[in-house]
Amino acid sequence: MAALPPAPSTGLGTWKSRLLSHEMLLFYVLIALWLFFYFAGTTVNRRGVTVGFGTLDRQFDILRHSCEIGLLALALTPIIITAGIDLSVGSLLGLCAILFGQLWHDGGLPIPVAAGLTLVIGALAGGLNAVLITALRIPPLIVTLGTYSLFRGLAEALTRGSITYTDFPASFLYLGQERWLGLPTQAWIFFAVAIAIGLLVHRTTFGRAFRTIGFSPEGARYAGIPVARRLALAYVLAGLVAAIAAIIYTARLGQAKADAGTGYELFAITAVVLGGTSIFGGKGSVIGTLLGVAAIAVLKNGLACLPVVMRMNAAEEMSGLLTGALLLFALSAGVVSQLWSGFRQRASAT
Amino acid sequence: MSPAPLLELRQLVKNYGGIRALRGVDFDLRAGEVHALLGENGAGKSTLIKVVTGAHAPNGGTITLAGQTVSGLTPATARALGIACIYQQPALFPDLTVAENLALRLNAPSPATRMHWSDCRARATRLLARIGAEISPDAEVRSLSMPEQQLVEIACALGSGARIVVMDEPTASLTQKEQHLLFAVVRDLRQNGVGVIYISHRLEEIFALADRVTVLRDGQSVGTHPVAGIDEAGLIRLMVGREVAQIYPAAESAPGAVVLSLNQLGCRSSGVSNVSFDVRAGEILGLGGLVGAGRTELARILFGLTPADSGTITLNGQPLTLRTPQAAVAHGIAYVPEDRRRHGVVLDLPISHNLTMAIHRRLFPTTWLRFGAERALTLDYIRDLAVKCSGPEARGGSLSGGNQQKVSLARWLATKPKLLILDEPTQGVDVGAKSEIHKIVRRLAKEGLAVILISSDLPEVIGLSDRIGVMGGGTLRAILPGGSDPHVVMAAALGTAA
């Protein structure tokens, strides 16, 4: 007990490499999934049905359909790193889509102005979450469960559950349905947001603060970090990004309706957690979130071109089932590796 | 003449890791006596209780109960053998009624038996009446005051037929009237042949209530005396005892201008009132006192964690209001907290992150992280304070206590503060690191920093401080010169004239 050699470092080096390995692992799974669907999809092609998975068009289609959930997942990443949660982003997407439609259609505002106002509204809605969480100290889960219903309810009320805004100008639909410089137009926005949030989380003092709060809110407070303001930033940002997702959603479908984005928050949370961000806070990365989004997207779209699934007409159900299984596997793999390292530490301590 | 004592401890030893909390304690408790246990913070009182109630197993020595040596004591067997403990913080279920709480404790737990609630209620009424408590057995514990909850605990101890009752600072939160009620209960217990181990910092209670008193110091019993045969001065001498053995680095220069000045400072919610003192540049002001004296509470006011509601704080001649830690940091106040694992260091983050946490604005003025600058700064402090670690990327949790403390200190030195508040900087730190920290603190003072040193380690406060403020009951009791006689300091902390 007396003269032990210094224990091997359990510093950031190993922690980082473990995180990296989680992301690398997810990356391999993603490649494997893709290859599987690529070859499984070709057989369909040989039978003369043109739903091949491996085509470039198909990839772009997947990307196009992933942008909204991807944006929400990006918005949730800083929040989950602070050990918080935001269940209201999907509902806020719906509310913002409706408000955007109203501002343009009923308010007669030009599209860019309506879009700008929608972003402000999104940020304000995120601000409502932020105030309830930081000033009144209500747990994020409860607050955003409330605003989850509130935002969706408002959207339904504003449209009396029936109005759908359509007939958007082609110049606007270009954002959601065309390609720009070879990629689906909205993908550029998605990547820009991804880079911005990536930089925020990994390269700025704000990201540091998120991580510190996630690991130890009390420790952050005692270090003079403005905990409430940093948390507020994360939720306001989520509101803003949800509004961006709402505009893209409207542009892709060419219509704004109250049920836009229903259930998206769960896909987004799944993608974040699958990407290695700890629901307990502190650990996580934006790259991981992107991989998580990609894995879910490939799984969902790939299943749709499997002949077996097509015959059963059960792509949705299958993708839900497999996403759930993948998520549980990823989570338990994380816990098992933690238990293992804890066990090794204890073994080396005695 | 008397039969075997109720409880007899012989050469009891208890180690926590490398720390020897009890190093051969002798203690005995007779039936029908109140035996007071006295000692400084960290003298081993709590450890002794934990061993007697079976919470912790001793590493050596014997425990004899009514003439029979017992080993492998667990909380359950201790209770079965008639040992009950009343803690400062009652451990009742707040959402259950008094009668339900009593039933939970006193009925043997078995899943299939039917509860006889009317019996339970009747028993609760009887027990409460016996100790003279005016508490309804149907009251929810949540609605009771702290002293009332303690009375329920005592009723519990009575109901379990305890022969040995341990009371840990039972009067800490009681009013005068409740104290008298409690004393009556204790005397009643004694009358009925129960042995009471009574722990308190209040000497007058010990003289009013106890038959004998045992003083613990540094994990050893330094004497058991009949209360009738000893006076306050004698007790204090026993408690303090040792000489200031360690060599403390001495002050080399006279203190400079007044940095911090407090006038009638108070905060009702944390129980601090009417604190006034000055701290000068280059001066170490020690804050001594017993646990609960209000020293950490004062530090929390000065760091903006619990803002003051009366009095004034003046820093470098400017009056301040400190409502948040950020404001305190911006004004050059640094606080190295007592609980370093929860507040001082974020265990999951690397040393470098921990170190730059409070200087984000200065080190990263554009909010973009500068990893190179951060690493260089971290390496500087690792070298400067001799932090033993594998490098700037080592997680806070991988360091030993002393090195965590150094990281916590380095974080605040990096803020270039004007006032540094150290709260128990050497608690749970090994001897080597302790003397290193002492040297660092003295060096900082020499460089012109104003230092407030909160410490329950009496020799440390006396040896390291230029002046010693003694706190008690949430207020400043005395300001004494550095190097004062420990007995005087202890007497001031206890609130008695030495």
Helices A227-253 and A111-134, packing angle to 10 deg: 150
Query: What does R_g of chain B's alpha carbons equal in angstroms?
Result: 25
What is the Cβ-side half-sphere exposure of residue B282, based on CA atoms within 13 angstroms? 11
Read off the pLDDT of each residue in A90-117 and give the average, rounded to a whole number: 96
Is residue A143 included in any domain, yes or no?
Answer: yes
The more confident residue out of B146 and A147 is: A147
Nearest to B358 among A6, A203, A224 (CB): A224
The more confident residue out of A264 and B161 is: A264
Q: Predicted ipTM?
A: 0.86
pLDDT of residue B248: 77
Label residue A8 by pLDDT band (50, 70, 90).
Answer: very low
pLDDT by residue (tens digit) across B353-406?
A: 999 999 999 999 999 999 999 999 999 999 999 998 889 999 998 888 889 999
Is residue A12 included in any domain, yes or no?
Answer: no
Residues of B in contact with A7 (CB under 8 A): 398
For testing contact with chain B, the best of A10, A222, A338 (most B CBs within 10 A): A222
Per the structure, the complete domain to which residue A200 belongs is given by 53-335
Calculate ∠ Cα A282-B387-B353, nearest 5°: 25
B409: closest chain A residue by CA: A223
Nearest to B325 among A13, A203, A222 (CB): A222
Instruction: Name the residue among B471, B92, B72 with its Cα closest to residue B289.
Output: B471
Q: Decide: helix, strand or coil at residue B483.
A: coil
pLDDT by residue (tens digit) across B33-54?
A: 999 998 876 678 888 988 998 8
Chain A, chain B: beta-carbon pairs less than 8 Å apart:
96
B17: closest chain A residue by CA: A1
Read off the pLDDT of each residue in A67-74 and give the average, rounded to a whole number: 97
In CATH terms, B258-494 corresponds, of 3.40.50.300, 3.20.20.70, 3.30.420.130, 3.40.50.1220, to 3.40.50.300
Residues of A in contact with B411 (CB under 8 A): 223
Q: A219 and B394: CB-CB below 8 Å?
A: no
A6: contact with B, CB 8 A cutoff:
yes
pLDDT of residue A252: 96
Q: How far is residue B41's CA from residue B29's CA, in Å, rounded to a whole number?
A: 22
* Range with the poorest average pLDDT among B5-14, B205-214, B244-253: B244-253
Helices A12-46 and A286-304, packing angle to 10 deg: 20
Distance (Å) from the alpha carbon of A297 to chain B's nearest alpha carbon: 33
Question: With the C-alpha atoms ordered B139, B145, B151, B153, is the resulting torsion angle positive or negative?
Answer: positive
A17: contact with B, CB 8 A cutoff:
no
Q: How far is residue A140's CA from residue A160's CA, in Å, rounded to a whole number?
A: 29
Is residue A116 included in any domain, yes or no?
Answer: yes
Q: Which residues of B touch A (CB under 8 A)?
A: 18, 303, 305, 324-326, 328-329, 335, 337, 342-350, 353, 357-358, 360-361, 364, 367-369, 388-391, 393-395, 397-398, 411
Q: Is the pLDDT of residue B122 over 60?
A: yes
Label residue A39 by pLDDT band (50, 70, 90).
Answer: confident
Evaluate whether B7-240 and B258-494 have a shared fold: yes
Q: Decide: helix, strand or coil at residue B86.
A: strand
The domain that holds A308 is classified in CATH as: 1.10.3470
Q: Is the pLDDT of residue A3 over 80?
A: no
B355: closest chain A residue by CA: A223
The more confident residue out of B108 and B264 is: B264
> Which of the 8 DSSP states describes residue B143?
G
* Range with the poorest average pLDDT among A74-83, A167-176, B72-81, B474-483: B72-81
Q: Measured in Å, how far apart are chain A's first and last C-alpha atoms?
A: 8
A28: contact with B, CB 8 A cutoff:
no
Q: Is the pLDDT of residue B106 over 50?
A: yes
Specify the pairing of strand B60-65 against strand B7-16. Answer: antiparallel
Instruction: Name the residue among A120, A115, A219, A244 with its Cα closest to residue A168.
Output: A115
A139: contact with B, CB 8 A cutoff:
no
For testing contact with chain A, the best of B369, B405, B407, B415 (most A CBs within 10 A): B369
What is the Cβ-side half-sphere exposure of residue A44, based on CA atoms within 13 angstroms? 22
Specify the pairing of strand B318-320 against strand B220-226. Answer: unpaired
Edge-to-edge strand ranges of the sheet holding B68-70: B19-29, B7-16, B60-65, B68-70
Nearest to B395 among A1, A10, A208 (CB): A10
Q: Is the pLDDT of residue A173 over 90?
A: yes
**Alpha helices in B414-475, H assignment, sequence order:** 431-446, 458-464
Q: A11 and B329: CB-CB below 8 Å?
A: no
Q: Is the pLDDT of residue B247 over 70?
A: no
Nearest to A224 among B326, B390, B394 (CB): B326
Edge-to-edge strand ranges of the sheet holding B419-423: B333-336, B419-423, B450-454, B284-288, B467-472, B475-481
Q: A225 and B350: CB-CB below 8 Å?
A: no
Q: Is B70 exposed, middle or buried (0-12, 13-18, 19+ CB in 10 A)?
A: middle
pLDDT of residue B18: 63
pLDDT of residue B73: 86
Q: Is the pLDDT of residue B469 over 90?
A: yes
Instruction: Name the residue among B395, B321, B323 with its Cα closest to residue B355.
Output: B395
Label residue B347 by pLDDT band (50, 70, 90).
Answer: very high
Is residue A42 included in any domain, yes or no?
Answer: no
pLDDT of residue A111: 96
Instruction: Name the residue among A44, A120, A123, A90 with its Cα closest to residue A260.
Output: A90
Element housing A157 (H / E):
helix A140-158
**Residues of A (276-315) whose Cβ lies below 8 Å from B:** 282
* Range with the poorest average pLDDT among A125-139, A243-257, A293-307: A293-307
A204: contact with B, CB 8 A cutoff:
yes
Average pLDDT over chain B, rounded to whole? 87
Q: Is the pLDDT of residue A12 over 60?
A: no
What percent of chain B lies above the pLDDT cut of 70? 93
Q: How far is residue B238's CA from residue B191's CA, in Å, rounded to a whole number?
A: 29
pLDDT of residue B1: 42
The more confident residue out of A348 and A279 is: A279
pLDDT by residue (tens digit) across B283-323?
A: 999 999 877 788 999 999 999 999 999 999 999 999 999 99
Q: B369 and A6: CB-CB below 8 Å?
A: no
A228: closest chain B residue by CA: B324
pLDDT by residue (tens digit) across B59-96?
A: 888 999 888 888 888 888 888 888 988 877 778 898 99
Distance (Å) from the alpha carbon of B422 to chain A's nearest alpha carbon: 13
**Residues of A (206-235) whose Cβ lies below 8 Å from B:** 206-209, 211-212, 215-216, 218-226
CATH architecture of B7-240: 3-Layer(aba) Sandwich (3.40)
Assign 3-state DSSP to chain A and report helix, strand, coil percentages, each to 5. Answer: 75, 0, 25
Read off the pLDDT of each residue in A109-134 and give the average, rounded to a whole number: 97
Helices A56-81 and A185-203, packing angle to 10 deg: 30
Element housing B146 (H / E):
helix B146-159
Calculate ∠ Cα A176-A180-A182, nearest 5°: 115
Label residue A51 by pLDDT band (50, 70, 90).
Answer: low
A263: contact with B, CB 8 A cutoff:
no
A167: contact with B, CB 8 A cutoff:
no
Contacts of A189 (CB under 8 A, 6+ apart): A67, A175, A244, A248
Q: A212 and B345: CB-CB below 8 Å?
A: no
A127: contact with B, CB 8 A cutoff:
no
A14: contact with B, CB 8 A cutoff:
no
Q: What's the domain count of chain A?
A: 1
Whether A215 and A282 have beta carbons less than 8 Å apart is answered as yes
- Any idea which residue has 């961006």 for tokens? A244
A12: closest chain B residue by CA: B393
The residue type at B311: G
Distance (Å) from the alpha carbon of A230 to chain B's nearest alpha carbon: 13
Residues of B in contact with A221 (CB under 8 A): 305, 325
Label residue B222 by pLDDT band (50, 70, 90).
Answer: confident
Residues of A in contact with B397 (CB under 8 A): 10
Read off the pLDDT of each residue in A279-293 and give the average, rounded to a whole number: 94
Instruction: Name the residue among A249, A238, A267 with its Cα closest to residue A77.
Output: A238
For testing contact with chain A, the best of B360, B366, B371 (most A CBs within 10 A): B360
Q: Is the pLDDT of residue A47 over 70?
A: no
Alpha carbon B338 to chain centroid, angstroms: 11
Whether B313 and B363 have beta carbons less than 8 Å apart is answered as no
pLDDT by residue (tens digit) across A59-68?
A: 898 999 999 9
The more confident residue out of B88 and B265 is: B265
Distance (Å) from the alpha carbon of A93 to chain B's nearest alpha carbon: 30
pLDDT of residue B427: 79
Contacts of B84 (CB under 8 A, 6+ apart): B156, B157, B160, B162, B164, B165, B166
Nearest to B395 among A15, A205, A220 (CB): A15
Identify the bridge partners of residue A184 per DSSP, sorted by sequence position: A179
Beta-strand (E) ranges in A1-147?
Answer: none
Nearest to A221 among B325, B345, B347 (CB): B325
Label residue A41 by pLDDT band (50, 70, 90).
Answer: low
Instruction: Name the residue among A280, A288, A137 with its Cα closest to residue A215.
Output: A280
pLDDT of residue B166: 92
**What are the structural domain ranges in chain B?**
7-240, 258-494
Is residue A18 included in any domain, yes or no?
Answer: no
The residue type at B387: V
Average pLDDT over chain A, rounded to whole? 87
A344: contact with B, CB 8 A cutoff:
no
Is residue A23 included in any domain, yes or no?
Answer: no
Q: Is the pLDDT of residue A181 over 80?
A: yes
pLDDT of residue B353: 96
